[in-house]
Structure 1
Amino acid sequence: MTAAYLTRIIPDPRSPQARRDTRTAVDLHRRLMSLFPDNAGPDPRARFGVLHRTEDTPTGPHLLIQSNHHPDLTKLPTTYGTATTKPLDTLLEALRPGLTIRYRCVASPVRKPGATTRAAYKLPAVVALTGTAADEWWLRQADAAGLNITNLHAQPLDTAHGTRTPHSGDRQRIHHTRTRFDGTATVLDPEQLRTKILEGIGRGKPYGCGLLSIAPARPEPQ
C-alpha cells in the first residue's frame, strides 16, 4: 500500500510569512509545495499526493497536510510555527467493511452542464453547488468512495481564491466555492475508501479542497 503521512502545522500568528500564506489559497499552496522535492515533473502535487485544508481551532488556524512523501519541515521559516508529521498507514490498514467512522472533507461541489444546457440557460462551464445540491453531490462522492453516509452536516466556507501565473505567462484567477462536510458513515468498500483518501475528492485540490479525513467513531454512551 502507498505510504501516507499527515502533517499538522500550527502557524505562529506573529510570523509575517505565516500571515501572508493564509491570505490566499495560491500563496499557501506554494508554501506547502516547498516542503517537497524540486524537479518532480509537471504535477508535483499529484506525484507526492499533497492534499491540505485549514482547520479553525479555538487557538487559531491549523494546517493539515496529507502526502505520500515525508515533507521536509526544516524548509519552513524558523519562526513559522510548530509542525509534526505522523504516518497514516495503521489507520488505513485497519479499514474493514462495517466499520463506523467519523469523516470530514472540505470540498468544492460543482456540476458541469452540457453544451446544450449551457447555451439554453446561459450557464458557465462549471456551476458551483450549494445547499441541497451540494449535499447530494457529497452523497454521490461518498458512495464512490465506498461509504454509506449515516449522518451529514454541511457548512459553507469562504471561497478559496488567489491569482496564479502558469508557465504560459497568462495570469489566472483561482476561485473555488467550498463546503465542509462532517458526519458519520459505514465503510462498505475499504479499498475504494483508501483510494479516495489518497487521491482526494473533487476539484481544487491544490487550493485546500478534497482532503478526506476519517477516524473510528466513538461508541455511543449507554
Structure 2
Amino acid sequence: MHLTRFRINTARQGARHLLASPQRMHAAVMSSFAGALPSQGNASRILWRLDRTSRAEVLLFIVSEDRPDLTHLVEQAGWPTTATWQTYDYKSFLDGLTAGSTWDFRLTANPVHHIRRTPDEERKRTAHRTPRHQMAWLLARQEQAGFRILETPAERRRLPQGDAYQLIVRDERRHRFDKTELTTGETKHVPLVTVTYDGRLEVTDPAALRRTLIQGLGRAKAYGCGLMTLARSGGR
C-alpha cells in the first residue's frame, strides 16, 4: 500500500478547474494509475482527499495499492520545474498500529441517512444537515471501524452538555454535477454534501482500523470521501 501527497498550485487555471469539480478530480486521480478505470473493481482500492490548510494550501492525498504517477497533475496543477509529489510506504505504518495507541485523525466524508416522508414512499438517501447529526453519523461507525473517539475531559468542556468528544466537524461543502451511467447512457444529477472531521481517537481493533484506512469510510469514495489519515499530535 502507498500513501501519496501532492501540493496543488491553486494559482494555476488547471488547478482551479479540477478543484471546482469532484468528478474532474476523480478522473485526474484515476488517470494516475495504468489501466485503472472508474468502472473497474480496482477503483474501490483508490481513495483520495483534498485538504485545505490554514496556510491556504490545498493538498491532495491518495491511498492506493499501486504506486501512482502524477506527472499529468504536476503539469496541469503543480509546479513542473520545482516540485513533484511524495509517495510513502503505507504498509509499514499500518502494520505498526496497536490497540490502545492514540492518534489525531482527519476524515472527509459524506454523512447520509435514509428517510421516508410518508409510509408508502420509498426510502431515499439524504445528507445530514446539522453538525450534531453529522457528528452522530461518525460516532455510530467508530466501533465497527476499529477506533474510539476520545472524550473531552470534563474540565475542558465549554458547556456542561457540549463538547463531549475531541471531535470537530467543519468545512461543509455542497456540490452538484451530472453523471452519465456507463451501462445505460442515462445522465443523472448528483448532489453531494461533504464535511471534514478533525479529532483524536484510540485504536480499539487494529485489523478493523487497517481496513478502514485502506477501504475508506462511508459513501462517495470516488468523489474525495472516505479517506481517513492518522498523525501524532501536532504532526499535521
CA distance in 2, matches of 1:30, 1:67: 15
- What letter is aligned with 1:138? L
d(CA) in 1 for partners of 2:133, 2:122: 16
The residue type paired with residue 217 of structure 2 is: I
* 5+ residue gaps, structure 2: 79-83, 151-165
The ranges of structure 1 where at least 4 consecutive aligned residues each deviate by more than 4 angstroms after the TM superposition are 121-124
Paired residue secondary structure (2:43): helix
Cα 1:79–1:21 change in 2 (3 A) is closer
Task: Answer yes or no: is the 8 Å Cα contact 1:145–1:196 preserved in 2.
Answer: yes
State the TM-score, normalized to the length of structure 2: 0.81
* One-letter identity of the residue aligned with 2:141: Q
Describe the superposition over 1:3-47 as per-residue Cα deviations: whole angstroms up to 9, x where unpaired: x2111121223433222111111111011100012266633411x
Structure 1 residue matching 2:35: 3-state secondary structure: coil
Which residue number in structure 1 is paired with residue 224 of structure 2? 208
Separation in structure 2 between the aligned mates of residue 34 and residue 142 of structure 1, nearest angstrom: 32
Tell me the equivalent position of 1:184.
200
Alignment of 1:1-222 (within 5 A): 4-38=1-35, 42-46=40-44, 49-57=45-53, 58-76=55-73, 78-81=75-78, 82-113=84-115, 117-120=116-119, 125-129=124-128, 130-150=130-150, 151-167=166-182, 168-217=184-233
Structure 1 residues 43 and 214: CA distance shift in structure 2, 3 A: same
Q: SS at the partner of 1:157?
A: strand
Instruction: Quote how far apart the aligned CAs of 1:155 are.
Output: 1.4
The size of the alignment, in residue pairs, is: 210
Query: In structure 1, what is the Cα distance between the partners aligned to 2:210 and 2:67?
Result: 18
**Equivalent pair of 1:157/1:178 in contact (CA under 8 Å):** yes
What TM-score do you get using the length of structure 1 for normalisation?
0.85
> Which sits farther off after the overlay, 190-199 or 50-59?
50-59
Distance 1:179 1:13, change over 3 A: closer
Unaligned runs of 5+ in 1: none
RMSD: 2.1
